[in-house]
Amino acid sequence: MDHPRRNFLQKLVASAAVVPLLSPYRALAQADRASTGSHQGKTLRVALMGLGSYAARVAEAMQSCKRAKVAGLISGTPSKLQEWGTKFGVPEKNRYDYENFDRIKNDPDIDAVYIITPNALHRDQAIRVAKAGKHVICEKPMAVNAKEGQDMVDACADAGVKLLVGYRMHFEPKTLEVIRMRKAGDFGSISFFQGLCGFRIGDPDQWRLNKALAGGGSLMDIGIYAINGARYMVGEDPVWVTAQQTKTDPVKFKEGVDETIQFQLGFPSGAVASCLSTYQMNHLDRFFMTGEQGFAELQPATGYGPIEGRTHKGELTQPHAMHQTIQMDEMAGILLDGNTPVVPVDGEEGLKDLKIIDAIYAACGTGRKQELRLG
């Protein structure tokens, strides 16, 4: 990374509010750890890249993991490397900055790097991690467009490492129960899905409202949950999309940064989806799906939890656990044991969502239906 971008990122990351590390998450983590007991098998040793608020949540959650641990840190802020290294027991030799992290190639204490930086940085950082011979875990969206996503998939394949995407909902118990019921035929033929995802975003100067770093606006941050959720709830990949964009505040949401997008998806079976992505409305976190024999509703559907839901058979009662704890333990099984998750979390899965995002933006720009070929 060149100096200007490194310095810019340092300022961005330094300005991000870090989740207090002596928080309820720590208490939950300790309770979870006490209840889960010991584990068998190798532990996945993960370096966290980008020490902002979400990385803090991941780091806290990993304290109760049975098969994954924080083993390295990568940041452009020396004070954070010191603070986090002390709190999470990461020795100084396993702390890196954005210029020297290629040296992880010779670090036997790190198996994988979890990239939790602004979207536009994912591609280059993932390629560097892959060239260093480490597995890549990347926050969603995997990149800012499908072309960059394909570059990441190719780089990891060329390096012989795996690429996973931080789809925490793919491991969430109530979500998996709805998927199990759908596969079992409990809902009959699926006809309709609705995904509502949004909130009123705050600080107008944050990187999520900077197209150069975010790649867009609400769709790249919160709308991807509806895109991905439509796919795993319906159980198919869409074949077309239409979309409409609304912008009420062009000062806050500048050119290329979407405020509100409505989009519709069509599936091979004939099922359809109607979704909303917004940075201008609160109380939007709901999935609803109906079929010829029943329905499922999750509300909240994608928040940090607990997820709540019901179907035509009654309330969903699966216990809540920290999503990132489950995610990282399951990803350890994928990377170390070759396990296959119920819903994929690999680079190809991330690439499909990027192709849909590209098509949604194209539909907003042209007003025309976009055909999708995700296979």
Sign of CA dihedral 11, 143, 83, 95: negative
- In 280-365, which ranges are E strands? 284-291, 295-298, 309-311, 314-315
* Token code pair at residue 61: 């959650």
Q: How far, in Å, CA of 364 to CA of 355, rounded?
A: 14
* Token code pair at residue 229: 């959720």
Helix/strand/coil for 105: helix
Which listed residue (25, 114, 167, 225) is catalytic?
225
Q: How far, in Å, CA of 81 to CA of 72, rounded?
A: 10
Q: What is the Rg, in whole angstroms, of the alpha carbon atoms belonging to the chain? A: 20
Q: How far, in Å, CA of 199 to CA of 222, rounded?
A: 8
Q: Which of 265, 273, 276 has its CA nearest to residue 223?
A: 276
Whether the Cβ atoms of residue 231 and residue 193 lie closer than 8 Å to each other: no
Give bridge partners of residue 261 from the DSSP assignment: 245, 277
25 is catalytic: no
355 is catalytic: no
Q: Which of 201, 279, 263 has its CA nearest to residue 227?
A: 263
Cβ contacts of 190 within 8 Å, gap of 6 or more: 182, 234, 235, 269, 271, 289, 290, 291
Which listed residue (134, 140, 174, 352) is catalytic?
140
> Measured between alpha carbons, how far is residue 317 from residues 6, 175, 177, 283, 313 in Å?
46, 11, 10, 22, 12
| Active-site annotation, residues | 140, 225
